[in-house]
Amino acid sequence: MNPIPNAYTFGDTRVFLTITSGLVEYLTEEEVNAVIAHECGHIACHHVLYHTMASLIKTGADIFGLLGILTTPVELALLYWTRRSELSADRAAAVAMGSAQPVVETMVRLSGGPKTITALKALAAASILDSRNRFLYSMSYNLILAHSIIKNQALFVYILLLN
């Protein structure tokens, strides 16, 4: 039993998906389905192997101290790719769910807490998207590059799928 809401996939040829009891307790059935669809997106796109490589390189670099600096360019490239793989998995989840709405609402929910708070965030994101403002698109894109914050990722997925 793990009270922290989380899910992950592991393995390459024999893949498994894990969701914590905290995720099941905290989210609605549709939100859990969106999380599972996101994880299945990682499996379908074969992201798990590269996520594992990034993790092993980081661990190896930490063990070797100063020699680990030599792996920094590869590590940075894999971290950049990792952020992009999250967006690919989000898009796959949106396709599997039939709409971006449940995926975005789930991300916002995981970033912010109870529905009473996150419902307002989802409405704010929807009103921003209705304006179709290219400046906001540019700003959210830059925020994704600079910070992998889940609420920015949610906004970016909405913009990607609706524009």
Please provide the distance, in angstroms rounded to a whole number, between the alpha carbons at the two ends of the chain: 41
Q: What is the CA radius of gyration of the chain?
A: 17
Which residue, among 131, 150, 45, has the nearest Cα to 91 in the 3D structure?
45
Among candidate residues 25, 30, 31, 39, the one labeled active-site is 39
User: Crossing angle of helices 101-112/72-97, nearest 10°?
Assistant: 120
Q: Taking a C-beta distance cutoff of 8 angstroms, is the pair 122, 104 a contact?
A: yes
User: Crossing angle of helices 134-146/72-97, nearest 10°?
Assistant: 130
* 86 a catalytic residue: no
Q: Taking a C-beta distance cutoff of 8 angstroms, is the pair 90, 47 a contact?
A: no
Which residues carry out catalysis? 39
